[in-house]
């Protein structure tokens, strides 16, 4: 299956509890934004969140299930990416050493996979072997609860974990603790070591979820699920230190309904930040001040579906793909590089319970 070098590959993670069969592969037309399905990786349970290694050879997915190979907890799966077609071949699977794993990332050298277990509030590290398979976990850290209050905050809930651009530290927002945990990355032993400032405590009830670093490496942002806000930080990458500088709402002032934030991304230009609202069912748009990193509200764009769990911006900064989990659709928007605004291209693709979208250039 020959590939146009200008086309991009789109991988969509899903829950397989309903009609979904696994991870869906699409081609993204670089001119029109149209999506064309080219295959599905089947035989794995609920490959919800995805990550691709820096050399685009392997894809890793968490298996967000309650039981994995007959034991309580979830899993993490490794796939080989065909350099000819982008098709996925399962390499191996490991237990995630926690319940309901919801996020996975790969360090910037492609040596280790990092996993966040939402249900049990823990994080794990796995070495990537020469053939792309996952080795046995080299580290496991259980977040500890303290002074927690009602509902979902009865226990720690690690919601994501990502390395910083320098690959010296990893941050892990914990929704239950209202903390952003900060670890030093040991890329020799595959360990997460406590940072000199081991966490940032944020407002009670905020519920930190996903995190993104600015391309300049001087700023960072967390989107908070429960109070529908984004917090902007300055970032000292030499020491892994975050300093809070601004908090903004992701919802319109006149919105009176129920909504929860989900995902956050920055355009490759570094000029605009985007966040998803589930309930208001929109993407909020902020301009990023080049000199300070502070956010200025630009607008909201409806996602044309319900519960936009996740979205992705292609590497060229041309398109944003929004995954509407409850209406089984992926909607394509074109980014205005000057204003940051989003314009629907008219392309809507049906995918059962889409949870995560990852876009990459063709491997050719």
Query: What are the pLDDT digits (tens) for 258-300?
Result: 999 999 999 999 999 999 999 999 999 999 999 999 999 999 9
The dotted CATH code for 8-361 is 2.130.10.10
Hey, where are the domains in the chain?
A: 8-361
pLDDT in tens, 145-171: 765 455 545 689 999 999 999 999 999
**Measured distance CA(187)–CA(217) in Å, rounded:** 20
The answer, yes or no, to whether residue 186 has pLDDT greater than 90, is yes
What is the arithmetic mean of pLDDT over 327-352?
97
Rounded distance between C-alpha atoms, residue 113 and residue 60, angstroms: 8
pLDDT at 2 over 50: no
The closest of 122, 116, 63, 115 to 93, measured between CA atoms, is: 63
Q: What pTM did the predictor assign?
A: 0.95
Task: Dump pLDDT digits (tens) for 6-52.
Answer: 789 999 999 998 899 999 999 999 999 999 999 999 999 999 999 99
Q: Biggest alpha carbon distance in the chain?
A: 57
For residue 25, give the H/E element and its range: strand 22-28
Length of the chain (residues): 364
Q: What is the DSSP string of 215-263?
A: TTSSEEEEEETTTTEEEEEEEETTTTEEEEEEEEESS-TT--S--EEEE
Q: Cα 158–76–348 angle (5° rounding)? A: 85
pLDDT tens digits for 211-236?
Answer: 999 999 999 999 999 999 999 999 99
Report DSSP letters for 113-163, one per residue. Answer: EEEEETTTTEEEEEEBPTTS-B-S-SEEEE----S--SGGGGS--B---EE
């Amino acid at each position: 299956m020959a590939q146009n070098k200008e086309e991009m590959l789109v991988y969509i993670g899903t829950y397989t509890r309903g009609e979904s069969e696994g991870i869906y592969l699409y081609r993204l037309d670089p001119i029109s934004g149209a999506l064309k399905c080219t295959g599905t990786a089947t035989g794995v349970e609920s490959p919800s969140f995805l990550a691709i290694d820096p050399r685009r050879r392997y894809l890793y997915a968490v298996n967000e299930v309650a039981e994995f190979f007959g034991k309580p907890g979830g899993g993490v799966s490794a796939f080989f990416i065909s350099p000819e077609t982008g098709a996925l071949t399962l390499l191996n699977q490991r237990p995630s050493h926690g319940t309901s794993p919801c996020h996975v990332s790969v360090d910037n050298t492609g040596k280790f996979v990092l996993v966040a277990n939402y249900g049990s509030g823990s994080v794990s590290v796995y070495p990537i072997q020469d053939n792309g398979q996952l080795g046995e976990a080299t580290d496991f850290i259980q977040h500890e609860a303290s002074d927690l209050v009602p509902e979902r905050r009865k226990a720690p809930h690690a919601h994501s974990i990502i390395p910083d651009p320098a690959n010296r530290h990893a941050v892990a927002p914990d929704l239950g603790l209202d903390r952003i945990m900060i670890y030093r990355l040991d890329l020799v032993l595959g360990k997460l070591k406590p940072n000199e400032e081991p966490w940032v405590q944020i407002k009670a009830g905020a519920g930190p979820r996903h995190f993104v670093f600015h391309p300049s490496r001087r700023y960072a942002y967390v989107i908070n699920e429960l109070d529908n806000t984004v917090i902007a930080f300055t970032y000292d990458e030499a020491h892994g230190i975050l300093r809070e500088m601004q908090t903004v709402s992701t919802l319109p002032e006149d919105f009176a309904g129920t909504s929860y934030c989900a995902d956050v991304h920055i355009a490759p230009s570094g000029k605009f930040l985007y966040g998803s609202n589930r309930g208001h069912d929109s993407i909020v748009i902020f301009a990023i001040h080049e000199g300070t990193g502070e956010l200025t509200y630009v607008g909201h764009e409806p996602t044309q579906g319900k519960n936009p769990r996740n979205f992705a911006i292609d590497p060229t900064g041309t398109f944003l793909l929004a995954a509407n989990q409850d209406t089984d659709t992926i909607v394509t928007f074109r980014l205005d590089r000057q204003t940051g605004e989003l314009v629907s291209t008219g392309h809507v693709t049906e995918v059962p319970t889409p949870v995560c979208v990852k876009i990459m250039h063709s491997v050719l």
